[in-house]
Amino acid sequence: MALLELRDIHKTYHLGGETIRALDGVSLDIDSGEFISIIGPSGSGKSTLMHILGCLDSPTSGTLRLDDTMIHDASSRQLASIRNKKIGFVFQFFNLLPKLTVRQNVELPMIYSGHSGKERRERAMTALRRVNMEDRSKHRPSQLSGGQQQRTAIARALVNDPRIIFADEPTGNLDSHTGELILEMFDQLHNEGRTVMLVTHDPEIAAVTPRRIEIRDGKIANEADPTLAGKAPRFEQITNSEAKPTT
């Protein structure tokens, strides 16, 4: 059974009497452990698709299943719980809280899931270690470089051990070198068996992933066959020790 299953998803907006079909009948299966990118120009509906997949938004029609939960008719409270436990988000602008330290930022999702203070600290440190940020745990986001901030955000997305990680233009706010290091980190997460979905407008970034879904005018325009596209990831050679941020 697929991890995520979309059937005939429609999403329409009404703007000043005009009806905008952001998504127009999207059907999609995503299996556990996949590394996927959604690609498309701005306005194509890829962000809307990610929001619906990420349980931030609900479709106008169609069915959506994550694991064994039907999401399209879940309450906002259930959606919040699903976002908290099953989904990790990485944003273009990192969205870290400037007043909290790195560790406290990573602990945030566990506050909503109600973990104890000790467990929160331990798991946050584990996640930070995973992204090589444990020595910065007491810093504030403003004291970090962009790449470090994004790695903190990845640690925050990982900390509740989600079923799927969504990254919305994760390299959009980084220079190309740091961006590659971040993409490499996603690749490593994929190699560890995690399900990762990148949303981007940049075909070069999408090229990193074995499976690419192209969205155009609210429809899936072209899906590259995973078996054909499943070439070796680009960053195989770069080891962890070299993955030092340059910014």
Which of 32, 60, 63, 81 binds another protein (CB under 8 A)? It is 81
Which of 80, 207, 229, 238 binds another protein (CB under 8 A)? It is 80
* Residue 114 binds another protein, judged by CB under 8 A: yes
Least distance in Å: CB of 200 to another protein? 17
Give 41 or 117: the residue with its C-beta nearer to another protein.
Answer: 117
Least distance in Å: CB of 152 to another protein? 13
Which of 5, 89, 169, 197 binds another protein (CB under 8 A)? It is 89
Which of 24, 31, 57, 217 binds another protein (CB under 8 A)? It is 57
Distance, in Å, from the CA atom of 180 to the CA atom of 245, rounded to the nearest integer, reads: 10
* Residue 111 binds another protein, judged by CB under 8 A: yes
Stretch that binds another protein, among 89-97, 196-204, 213-221, 236-244 (CB under 8 A): 89-97
Least distance in Å: CB of 89 to another protein? 5
At residue 244, φ and ψ (nearest 5 deg) are -90, 140
Q: Mutual orientation of helices 102-113 and 76-86 as an angle, nearest 10°?
A: 130
* Residue 212 binds another protein, judged by CB under 8 A: no
Name the site residues for another protein (rule: CB under 8 A). 51, 54, 56-57, 76-77, 80-85, 89, 91, 93, 95, 97, 99-100, 108-109, 111-117, 156, 160
